[in-house]
Amino acid sequence: MKARWVEGNRVQLLENGEQFFPAVFESIRAARSEVIIETFILFEDKVGWQLHGELVNAARRGVEVDVMVDGFGSPDLGRKFIDDLVAAGVRLRTFDPGRRILGIRFGVLRRMHRKLVIVDGATAFVGGINFSADHLADFGPGAKQDYAASVQGPIVGDIRRFAVNVITRSDGRRPVDRSSATGQQGPAAALFVTRDNVEHHNDIERHYRAAIRSARKSILIANAYFFPGYLLLRELRRAARRGVEVRLVLQGEPDMPIVKTAASLLYDHLQRDGVCIHEYCKRPLHGKVAVIDDEWSTVGSSNLDPLSLSLNLEANLVIRDSVFAAQLRSRLDTLVEHDCKRVDRPASSGFGLWESLRSAVVFHFLRRFARWATLLPLHTPKLVPARRIGAEDSAENTHAG
């Protein structure tokens, strides 16, 4: 499906699970005909079980419910969790399920990393928040900082058609077309952009680069896993050199230490041209958002790293709306002011042999990674429907959902 700008949408920013989960659950409770969910992670914690209850109730009152989880991100759904969903009529599918070998999960490449919820073809949620309790502040120091957007309006038809096409390719079922149910709802123009390994290899990155290239005043990007390709880095540096204020909010307390190490390899490369880097230090940053100038912004699942930009299946909502952009910028400015530290460039201007070698290696890796990614193992992923598990089923089927 080719992405297109669609006018007449109302978009609302949702920050963290405290805003996201109640909005999603309320929408599911009000659903009359259809709920479609795609998520990388669904855990059997208090959030997962609450979603489970809402979906079971919706299915029992006759709502068509389709849920897809990723086999790597959600490997441990148990028998009762799956059985109760399927018994209620929920169609639960796993993207590319895999077995553990010696307790280790393999298959990290080319994952279904999207986070989408579509209800009645009228409301959609797009962002980076999974259905897990670590997106709530009461989880503790490891709670993630993240964002999503809820949207009503004609763009929901595009999002729904995309999700329905995935279902259709899975089992041939063709749900009733409800895309015409969403009329003009607000002032925002929106674009639903996806990345896959067949037709849309670099669509999300291309929209980032185009927006950065056209920036005239400011660029503010908050991204959890930052190790983008050479072309995107080049656009950021060029923007800073022509006088655009370029700020990056990256992880200071990462959930995986290698994330900070990888991003820091790029700091000097960017700072030399005036890019300002802040590290978020309150808790792990999981957001994937950006706002450029006074109107353009994006919220979605795509990090700016090799996995998201060259391998995973991703989805972002791109928005042209001054009110939404101002809201997102305000929230990120608050983050920078209260919970970030600015990373200053070392006072020494010397660039030693080790730094020169490291910079060269990083430069050429990023320059060529997109091409190298095509050489990595490629297979046709399976979308496996879950079924109720009887006594005759083997234990490995408990991970089918």
* pLDDT at residue 52, as a whole number: 98
Whether residue 321 lies in the annotated active site = no
Q: Where are the alpha helices (DSSP H) in 42-89?
A: 46-60, 79-88
pLDDT at 238 over 60: yes
Whether residue 293 lies in the annotated active site = yes
Higher pLDDT, 188 or 198: 188
* pLDDT at residue 391, as a whole number: 35
Placement of tokens 């230090």 in the chain: 281
* pLDDT at residue 351, as a whole number: 54
What pLDDT digit, counting tens, does each position of 199-219 carry? 999 999 999 999 999 999 999
pLDDT at 65 over 90: yes
- Mean predicted lDDT score pLDDT of the chain: 87
Buried b / exposed e over 370-393, threshold 16 CB at 10 Å, is beebeeeeeeebebbebeebeeee
Catalytic residue chosen out of the listed positions 52, 96, 115, 321: 115
Catalytic residue chosen out of the listed positions 52, 66, 96, 113: 113
Whether residue 115 lies in the annotated active site = yes
Domains, the chain, with CATH or none = 6-190+379-399 (3.30.870.10), 203-373 (3.30.870.10)
Whether residue 294 lies in the annotated active site = no
What pTM was estimated for this model as a whole?
Answer: 0.90
Catalytic residue chosen out of the listed positions 66, 70, 96, 120: 120
pLDDT at 375 over 80: no
Q: What is the DSSP letter of 346?
A: P
401 confidence band (pLDDT: 50, 70, 90): very low
383 confidence band (pLDDT: 50, 70, 90): confident
Percent of all residues in the chain with a pLDDT value above 90, rounded to a whole number? 69
Catalytic residue chosen out of the listed positions 66, 146, 203, 293: 293
The amino acid that residue 46 corresponds to is K
Q: Is residue 151 a contact partner of residue 318, using CB atoms and an 8 Å limit?
A: no
Token couple for 223: 């991204």
Segment among 97-111, 161-175, 288-302 with least mean pLDDT: 97-111
Give the integer Cα–Cα distance in Å for 24 and 39. 13
Catalytic residue chosen out of the listed positions 286, 305, 339, 399: 286
pLDDT at 381 over 90: no
pLDDT at 170 over 90: no
Catalytic residue chosen out of the listed positions 96, 288, 339, 399: 288
Higher pLDDT, 32 or 351: 32
Whether residue 286 lies in the annotated active site = yes
pLDDT at 177 over 80: no
Mean pLDDT of 344-373: 64
Give the integer Cα–Cα distance in Å for 201 and 36. 24
pLDDT at 158 over 90: yes
Placement of tokens 């041939």 in the chain: 172
Per-residue CA distances from 51 to 37, 57, 133, 134, 289 (Å)? 11, 10, 11, 15, 25
The amino acid that residue 307 corresponds to is L
Across 92-101, 300-309, 366-375, the highest mean pLDDT is recorded for 300-309
Report the candidate in 374, 321, 376, 367 with the shortest Cα–Cα distance to residue 12: 321
pLDDT at 394 over 50: no
